[in-house]
Chains A and B, each alone.
Chain A
Amino acid sequence: MAETLLRVENVTKRFGGLVALDNVSLEVLRGERLGLIGPNGAGKTTLFNVISGIYKPEKGRIVFKGVDITGWPPHKITRLGIARTFQIVRPLSNLTVLDNVVVGALLREPDISRAREKALEVLETVGLYEKRNMLAKDLNLVEKKRLEVARALATSPELLLLDEVAAGLRPREVDELVGTLMELSRKGITMIMVEHVMRAVMNFAERIVVLHFGRKIAEGTPKEVANNPQVIEAYLGPQD
């Protein structure tokens, strides 16, 4: 039995009258690849924002590596080993691709030249090595998505939160990306993938959690989830 790396316990997050997360609980084991799906507005990104410390939940706890990190500021959470990407890409536009990743690497390696070496390795992994001297704003969307992953990886996370990294990619590009992520998974990085692109998440995840209107409505292997009537209803509306 693998150890529990992340435990989300009864988390509730409200925005005014809107309940974005309603008593959500889930666990992620070390080394696991978890998929997190649900229709638009289900609370997936909100959950990422709560885990990474951007939002504080009204209720519930986030426990990572046995440490209660609820309400911690984001930088401390990153230092403890959680990195994330952003659904709407946020490159450091006026820095080079390399420097974007160097900033991430500097977290564990304060020496610039050694951080640069590490950044170059990471760029190699995600296939951006050739673009390293371009400004981040001059990348296309596919490349910016990869840069998001590279920058997060450079912080040497134990848990990586991937927020729709496959959105907007062509099927072949999706498969490439999933291949890269599988490789990282084999190196021992635990991952949670929020995704609408089923081709990505079904191939990638070992287990899937489904959110709908802020509630967890299903959990299981990709196959179980795909055949769950509640999930089908959430995505397609009531079936008669």
Chain B
Amino acid sequence: MRELMRYARNPVVVAVSALLLALPAIFSITGQPFYANMLFLSLMYGVAALAWNLMQGYTGMFSLGHAAFFGVGAYTVMVAMLYYNVSPWIGIWLAGVMAAAVGFLLGFPLLRLRSHWFTLATIAVGEIFKLAFAHWGYVGAARGLQAPIVGPSKALYYMQFTGPFVYVYVALLVLLVEIVVLYRIVNSRTGYYFQTIREDEIVAKTLGIDTFRYRMLSLVISSFFTGLAGALYAVRFHYVDPFAVFDLITISTYISVAGIIGGIYSFIGPLVGAFIFVPAAEYVRVKIVSAFPRVFGLHVVVVGVILLLISLFLPEGVMGYLKRKGYIKTG
């Protein structure tokens, strides 16, 4: 904690934080919802990518199925609100708990697998969740769930604000909680044990580490915070459908691409990656893909090109590169 407070006094960190706090207000005043939305999405993917990297970068478990936890989180907020009249202010945290519970249960089959077999299974899990939710009447099947528009007196309770501006602050709050919790974890014995498992699971066992338990812990914490990211999606867009929140490309893959671009062997890297990749992807979606409406899958091509360039020029990610060049010491 003391170390975290030292970062809080670092001028770069202070400047970036101040900017993040000021920007939504500035965008709101100048009337630029597109950029405020871009900021929101960067934060949302950043929350998910940091969580994803607890598994990938720290524990060595490459998931391409984080949409399962993201989607469960998103649906939890909607179900809690629509069927149980629970405010999304509480629903967001319930979403984390529900996603963590799903992660825990999935852990029993998933954790029997390692390396690329594990990754393949996570893809399957994400796809299974998409199909299951698309056929589950209780959650609206393929139509999904939509929050009704409420009057101004109930807007705060149901978290319905005009435009993206307030949601950026909600996302910042979630991100802050996540950073504090994850930072403490990765700098504790648990964090050391995660990294030992990543480097060599047999050695981890012979050093007295119950590797199943710690891989499970990594999965559960990761799914908790990914669930929070999904919850942010639900409160922001008031609408969830299985093909959006369980998507293999725009959720699972985007999360991992953000992490890889930022640098998986860096604590804050995935957040940095989200702030590079998400605006780029949004720009492409809005400005380029819409200009070529008949070219399907153009956004995927763009993701592919970005990944190719990163693997060629910055294989260790942006933060890894900065560390290697000595521009930054930690992070």
Contacts and interface: CB of A to CB of B under 8 A. Distances in A.
A54 B202 CA distance: 8
A94 interface: yes
A106 B206 contact: no
B199 A94 contact: yes
A75 B211 contact: yes
A103 B196 CA distance: 7
B129 interface: no
B178 to A, nearest CB: 21
Interface string B123-146: 000000000000000000000000
Contacts of B199: 92-95
A61 interface: no
A67 to B, nearest CB: 16
Interface string A61-87: 000000000000111001100011010
Nearest to B265: A94
A44 interface: no
B202 A106 contact: no
Given A83-B206, A99-B195, 17 more contacts: A53-B205, A54-B202, A75-B205, A78-B205, A78-B207, A86-B203, A90-B203, A92-B199, A92-B203, A94-B199, A95-B196, A95-B199, A103-B196, A104-B207, A107-B207, A112-B188, A155-B207
Interface residues on B, range: 20 to 34
The 3 closest A-B CB pairs, nearest first, are A78-B208, A92-B199, A74-B205
B46 to A, nearest CB: 24
A190 interface: no
Contacts of B7: none
B56 to A, nearest CB: 14
9 contacts: A54-B205, A75-B208, A92-B200, A99-B192, A99-B195, A106-B192, A107-B208, A115-B189, A155-B207
Contacts, number: 67
Chain A CB count within 10 A is highest, among B187, B188, B203, B206, for: B206
A45 interface: no
B206 A92 contact: no
A90 B207 contact: no
Interface of B: 187-189, 192-193, 195-196, 199-200, 202-211, 265
B210 A75 contact: yes
A53 B202 CA distance: 11
Contacts of B207: 75, 78, 103-104, 107, 151, 155
A128 to B, nearest CB: 17
Contacts of B200: 90, 92
A171 interface: no
Nearest to A83: B206
Contact of B195 (A52, A95, A104, A107): A95
Contacts of B205: 53-54, 73-75, 78
A74 B192 CA distance: 18
Contacts of A73: 205, 210
B189 A106 contact: yes
A104 B205 CA distance: 11
Interface residues on A, range: 20 to 34
Interface in A30-78: 52-54, 73-75, 78
Given A104-B207, A112-B187, A90 B202 contact: yes
A110 to B, nearest CB: 5
B2 to A, nearest CB: 11
A239 B283 CA distance: 81
A95 B204 CA distance: 13
A86 B205 CA distance: 13
Contacts of B210: 73, 75
A94 B203 CA distance: 14
A102 interface: yes
Contacts of B203: 86, 90, 92, 151
Interface string A102-146: 111011001010010000000000000000000000000000000
A151 B206 CA distance: 10
A90 B207 CA distance: 12
Nearest to A157: B208
Nearest to A161: B206
A84 B195 CA distance: 20
Contacts of A110: 189
A79 B207 CA distance: 8
A90 B211 CA distance: 17
Contact of B208 (A99, A112, A155): A155
A92 B189 contact: no
A95 B207 CA distance: 15
B203 to A, nearest CB: 5
A102 B209 contact: no
A106 B193 CA distance: 9
Contact of A75 (B187, B188, B192, B209): B209
A72 B306 CA distance: 48
Contacts of A86: 203
